[in-house]
Amino acid sequence: MLDPNSAMDFFDQENMEELSQLASLEMSGDLVSKRKPSAALEKSSYPDSVYVTAANIFQGIRIQRPADKVIINYGDELLPSSWTQAEEDSFQRLSYELAFSTLKYQDILESILIDTDIFSSTTIPDQLNSLIIVMLYDFQDRKFQPRVLPNDAVTIPEVQEVENLLNSFKTKLAAALARCRIKHDALSIYHILPETVRKQEQRASTLPLYAWINIGKVSLEEVYDDLRKKGFDKVKSIAYLNDKVFAVDQHCFNVLIFPSHFKRELLNIDLIKDYKLIFQDKSRSLAVHSVKALINMDDDILMVNTGSWYTVAHMSILTSGNTSKIFVCGIESEEKDSDAKKLFTKMGCESMCRRLFDH
């Protein structure tokens, strides 16, 4: 089981970039939903464990201000947390999306918290401030409506404490957000963002999503059939972004292309949860396919600065019929090595990744 406290080590720069892109698509969802409302799924409430993990992630990626300009003291400690295996597989990406969404609105959310004078009214320690701002983002995203959780939901004391605090300040928080919108003459919190950021969001909403098929676990046709059963039509190219379609990339035979606004629906299908379909930028897959096309059956492969264990797994899966050995530089600790092996096991390629060694 991946320890959420070490998640920042496991999810490296490339994963952060990909999840940031997905978060951008989430933030610009209002743009695509106007084109096809039926495409979006209803947003469900986050469980407590997602908030805690998102807070720990946000703690590592938040904007660091000079000492004389610090608005909120976030402390230095991460929150203790543990996931069950099911939670790890289901909620990991949600935690990263929530953290990146919060990061995008950090300045605005901090202003709202300061405007309500919430910190002078509580004795909550600084180490919970990351949790406060993450939960505030989701709270305003829900229009300050209460969470709806199943009766058997696992609760975390810190989350319950922060949730009670935010609920007690509900009216003041909503008023502070309204004042912020009036000040910026903005229809929503999204429109308070700088124009350059909003243009990036709009562009992100039109970019297709790429995912590669893990042919070590499933065949191409099985994936096509599964997607068809879920209402997706296979086409030659993604010409109309509103249609529920997918296409095979012209350069990489196992890479599929989807319209971006089906992201939430796709994240909830078993193909993704079972690591049979992996979201990853096409540039990573193209690199792997290029290497595969250039090597001989018995050529060894040295991978450096890979940026993602998914890339290593993809390389090993594509060369599973070769006698090649794959050497990977950059493993910094036994813990990270263990995390990689766990991921490879889930992806069904643990026997294909023949050798990892410290650089």
Q: 169 burial class (0-12, 13-18, 19+ CB within 10 angstroms)?
A: buried
Return the structure tokens found at 182: 């009036």
Measured CA to CA, the distance from residue 26 to residue 47 in angstroms comes to: 18
Say if residue 226 carries a ligand binding annotation. no
Q: What is the DSSP letter of 212?
A: E
Q: How far is CA 166 from CA 21, 46, 128, 140, 293, in A?
A: 28, 15, 13, 10, 55
Edge to edge, the sheet with strand 326-328 lists: 301-303, 326-328, 355-356
Give the residue from 257, 271, 352, 263 showing the smallest Cα distance to 309: 352
Give the up-direction half-sphere exposure of residue 329: CA atoms within 13 A in the CB hemisphere: 6
Measured CA to CA, the distance from residue 333 to residue 344 in angstroms comes to: 17
Q: Which uninterrupted H or E stretch holds 7?
A: helix 7-10
- The annotation places the binding site at 358
> Residues marked as binding for S-adenosyl-L-methionine?
358
